[in-house]
Amino acid sequence: MKFNMLSKLNLLLCLLLSSSLLYAQSHHYHLQGYIGIQGGESFNYRLELKDSVGQWLSGYSYTYTNKHNDVKSSVVGKIDREAKSLQISELHILYNNHFESKAIICLVNAVLEYDEHTGKLYGSLRSQTAGHYHAECAKGSLSFLNKDELVNLFSPPKDSIPNPTLAATPTTTSPPIVSKKKQPAHLPQKDKVKEAKVEAVAKITEGKDKVYYWNNDRILLQIFDGTTVDNDIVSVYYNGEKVLNNYSLRKEKKELLLPIGGNELNIISIEANNEGGDPPNTANILLFDGDISYEIIAHNKTGRRAVIRIKRKP
């Protein structure tokens, strides 16, 4: 079956982490490997990655039998250099140059582990469609064998800085929050946050969401209790991934940095885990788009979610 079925897939709503930190040198990684598909097919699989935020990497993948007939996809990855593991996810197809396969190979998602005895980075893969389109996608395996490439990948960059502080009790896939010591130059600094232009306050709850059109490649989110602190507890999701888990709101603002890319729709969900001592659950939120600030009040009953939709301006 022809691989060009992939051109029909919708963009995957997930972590879009395509931007590098402005305050750290970006390191590049090239991995040449092989993808094996159930049924006996095997293809070259090449990754071109660079540092993004914290443990995250971003870049491109290339699948081909010969380089003149390849498929290029955008990729995000999460690396654990201590455990020597790499998780990669293809986001969407950038082009398909007449690549063909007998099986339906969709967007690749794999967790790879490095075996020091064999010198191989290896793992099972599953391929999945984007959005609401479903197909019988092929399964298989992915492996990388070049020792020099793998040493470069898992060696900490010499000029790397400590990872930004993680959000409170995050899941393993949670994007990191803004470092309190440094912020990217294009985001408002601590002493300039109050000077940002504040738009009208928006009130959202389940069934009443809000859409914003964004200029920058990152969202700086601050969440806090702007009234009486009554032990309201919330969880925050970004493109389906939990980035703040069971957090008790305080007067002090909790900061999250959420990278975005392209013109894809990005979704922030604020879930009420309880209603505190003064129902309903109420969370005050500030979103910073450069020098523009959006103020939001999310109020919900327990188990309900308020939704913020953000779309990058063309």
Q: What does the alpha-carbon distance between residue 92 and residue 238 come to, in Å, rounded to a whole number?
A: 18
Fold of 3-154: Lipocalin (2.40.128)
pLDDT tens digits for the chain (314 residues)?
334 433 433 433 344 434 433 334 568 999 999 998 877 888 999 999 998 777 888 999 999 998 889 999 999 999 999 999 999 988 888 999 999 888 888 888 899 999 888 889 999 887 655 443 445 688 888 999 998 999 999 987 655 444 433 333 333 333 443 333 334 434 444 444 545 555 668 888 877 888 898 988 889 999 999 888 989 999 999 888 889 999 999 999 999 998 886 667 888 999 999 998 888 999 999 999 988 999 999 999 999 999 998 888 87
Name residue 37's amino acid: I
Amino acid at 252: E
Pair of tokens at residue 88 = 């990669």
Q: In the prediction, which pLDDT does 111 show?
A: 92
Question: Given this model, what pLDDT does residue 173 score?
Answer: 38
Question: How much is the pLDDT for 130?
Answer: 47
pLDDT, residue 30, reads 94
Surface-to-core class of residue 146, CB atoms within 10 Å of its CB (0-12 exposed, 13-18 middle, 19+ buried) = middle
Q: Which uninterrupted H or E stretch holds 147?
A: helix 147-154
Please report, as a single letter, which amino acid is at residue 117.
Answer: H
pLDDT of residue 24: 41
- The confidence score (pLDDT) of residue 261 equals 63
Give the β-pairing of 233-238 and 202-204: unpaired
Contact between 285 and 42 under an 8 Å Cβ cutoff? The reply is no
Which helix (H) or strand (E) segment is 95 a member of? strand 85-96
What are the structure tokens assigned to 32, written together?
A: 């040449």
Q: 55: alpha, beta or left, given left = phi > 0 and alpha = psi -120 to 50?
A: alpha
Q: Hey, where are the domains in the chain?
A: 3-154, 190-312
Topology of domain 190-312 in CATH is Lipoxygenase-1 (2.60.60)
The first and second tokens of residue 79, run together, are 């690396």
Burial class (CB in 10 A: 0-12, 13-18, 19+), 35: buried
